[in-house]
Amino acid sequence: MTSDYEKRQVAQADQICIDEQDALYNAQQIGDGGKLGLRKLTLKLLTWGVETRGIYPVPREQRTDQHFHKIFFIWFSLDFDILSFSSGTIGPLVYGLSLRDSCLVILFFNILCCTPPAYLSTWGPKLGLRQMCQARYSFGYYGAIIPSILNLMTMTGFMILNCILGGQTLAAVSDGHLDWTVGIVIIGVFSLLVSFCGLKVIYWRAHMDSLWYERLCWIPVLVVYVVLLGFGGKHLSNPPPAVPATVATVLSFASVIAGFVITCGPMASDFTTYLDARVSSWKIFTYAYLGFFIPIVSLQCLGAAVAVAIPLVPAWNAAYAEESIGELFVAILAPAGGFGKFLVVLISLNVTANIAPTMYSFGMSFQVFIPFCVHLPRYVFSVFAAAVTVPLAIVGAHRFYSTLTNFLGLIGYWASCFTAVVLMEHFVFRAHARALVAARSSGSYSGKTANSPVSPESYSLDAFANYDLAMWNVPSALPPGFAAITASALSFALVIPCMDQVWFVGPIARSTGDIGFEVAFVVTALLYVPLRYAEVRCKGRL
């Protein structure tokens, strides 16, 4: 049995290997930064431990990290925050659902919707590609710009919501000495500082033998919620709703729950590209799935329980008059005095655990959106993300619940289309490449190069081996993307009638509720297969 000492030695060797290889990459980034007038700044930031690596693939020899549990902790920490709590309150407060109905929707739809992002997390170790780079193998080099733009908008939306919540909560505990605007700025700047240094700080890996930070950072937040239950638990109950639940309200709330988690899929593998390529996919899937499921379900159910009790507790109802979750936390923890205020500060600062990794992935998607930006160091995009997020959060701070409900309802549609495309590409086309690829002629084959038909025998029975990683940034060697874009676009012919939003209710949704994300997934998958098959037949290659 391997001793703890031996494990530490292996971990140190792996870290030295990764650091040496990152140094080579950083040297390239310094050169690129010099061309853009950023050489001195990049050199200085590298001495501070700032990570500059962007979307360049991580070679197999660099995928050596065996701390597989970290993917559980990064998703657990990312989702163990006030936004998960707030999204659970939507069921009772917006849709009038009872606690039982809200919790059942939360439980069963999270069981389903945690699966796609958890599975996509397993692709990072196998391919060494960031999620939006992987999308190029179905959407094409230029076609992938579209989901990248949508992903940038989604991540910006989540950062805005978290900045609003963190800023409101900081302001609530200051007794009027700090307004929402200043609180939002503090949260945005603090998150920027963390994201600046990339995964090494997010994981707290640099120069440490053990990964204690990622294992322990969620414990103070857990203490906050335990104390909150201790003081507020006596008020929690399950009174009957004023209006019985309908299929429409249940499915509309379900679309919000789905939008909350399924949109993690387009950035899922961004955090797993350094993990050992030999790891079992089941191990990564399990860690990622539990990292999503446990915090989201527990906090959303707690949020629903507190929301049901708000009208029954005068102090809570008064605190929540301005739709401020921060004021609600202050009211619940008021009996704890100064300690309660300290806990509220902790919970407000915890939103950085969500914003900082999102800023990290923001840079990856931006480099796919504008390919030229691959030459820019990653920290540039974190600064840009903060510059966009903070002003928009200040503007939207006083319309939090309408912003939250509309945002979560809308983003699920495109994420469902994206997930359907990449899964169909993998399971139908990459897994069965030999059977599907038809040569244009019976003549000789020139190999898997741009625009050339290839021999079916040149493809592997292993789906992951059929992603030609050398062609990740060669437009002519990647799929044209017409099938993916067309299938996604055509699916909205049925998605739109199934939408139930504040500003629009489709004819189907009037009787069924919002089933847009389910329809988007099914229709896109059904359309993509024949359209992509036509592409393959036309080109004679994947």
Q: Do 438 and 286 meet the contact criterion of CB atoms below 8 Å apart?
A: no
Residue at 2: amino acid letter: T
State residue 481's pLDDT score: 94
* SS percent in the chain: helix, strand, coil, step 5: 75, 0, 25
Helix axes 145-172, 379-396, angle to 10 degrees: 60
User: E strands along 115-195, which residues?
Assistant: none
Q: What is the mean pLDDT of each run of 10 residues along the chain (542 residues)?
A: 47 45 47 51 51 76 86 90 91 90 95 96 94 94 95 91 88 82 88 64 40 64 91 82 81 90 92 90 96 96 93 88 83 90 89 83 89 77 88 80 70 93 95 72 47 71 90 92 96 93 84 90 96 88 82
State residue 214's pLDDT score: 54
Q: How far apart are CA 72 and CA 67, in angstroms?
A: 10
Q: Do 300 and 89 meet the contact criterion of CB atoms below 8 Å apart?
A: no
Q: Which two tokens stand for residue 110?
A: 């999270």
Strand pairing partners for 505?
A: 500
Q: Which DSSP category does 135 fall into?
A: T
Q: Do 307 and 93 meet the contact criterion of CB atoms below 8 Å apart?
A: yes
State residue 357's pLDDT score: 81
Contacts of 307 (CB under 8 A, 6+ apart): 88, 89, 91, 92, 93, 102
Q: How far apart are CA 232 and CA 226, in angstroms?
A: 10
Residue linked to tokens 């050339």: 452
Q: Which two tokens stand for residue 118?
A: 């958890």
Q: Do 153 and 159 meet the contact criterion of CB atoms below 8 Å apart?
A: no
- For 392, other C-beta atoms within 10 Å of its C-beta total 17
What is the secondary structure of 357-422 as a DSSP string?
A: HHHHHHHHHHHHHSGGGGGS-THHHHHHHHHHHHHHHHHHGGGHHHHHHHHHHHHHHHHHHHHHHH
Q: Which DSSP category does 276 fall into?
A: -
State residue 451's pLDDT score: 60
State residue 395's pLDDT score: 82
State residue 452's pLDDT score: 61
What is the secondary structure of 464-524 as a DSSP string?
A: GGGS-GGGTT-GGGS---HHHHHHHHHHHHHHGGG-B-SS-B-TTHHHH---HHHHHHHHH
Angle at 484 (CA atoms; ends 57, 53), nearest 5 degrees: 20
Q: Which two tokens stand for residue 314?
A: 């005068």
Contacts 24+ apart (CB under 8 A), 398-401: 398/180, 398/322, 400/86, 400/161, 400/164, 400/165, 400/168, 400/323, 400/324, 400/325, 401/90, 401/93, 401/94, 401/323
Q: How far apart are CA 516 and CA 330, in angstroms?
A: 37
**CB-based burial label for 339 (10 Å; 0-12, 13-18, 19+):** exposed
Q: Which two tokens stand for residue 159?
A: 């950062």
Max Cα distance, the chain (Å) = 82
Strand pairing partners for 500?
A: 505
Q: How far apart are CA 412 and CA 408, in angstroms?
A: 7
Q: How far apart are CA 229 and CA 219, in angstroms?
A: 15
Q: Which two tokens stand for residue 502?
A: 């504040």
Q: Which two tokens stand for residue 280?
A: 């079992």
Nearest to 125 by CA among 287, 364, 295: 287
Residue linked to tokens 């990049």: 42
Q: Which two tokens stand for residue 351?
A: 């939103």
SS (H, E, C) 117-159: HHHHHCHHHHHCCCHHHHCHHHHCCCCCHHHHHHHHHHHHHHH
Nearest to 151 by CA among 135, 140, 167: 135
Q: Which two tokens stand for residue 19?
A: 């650091």
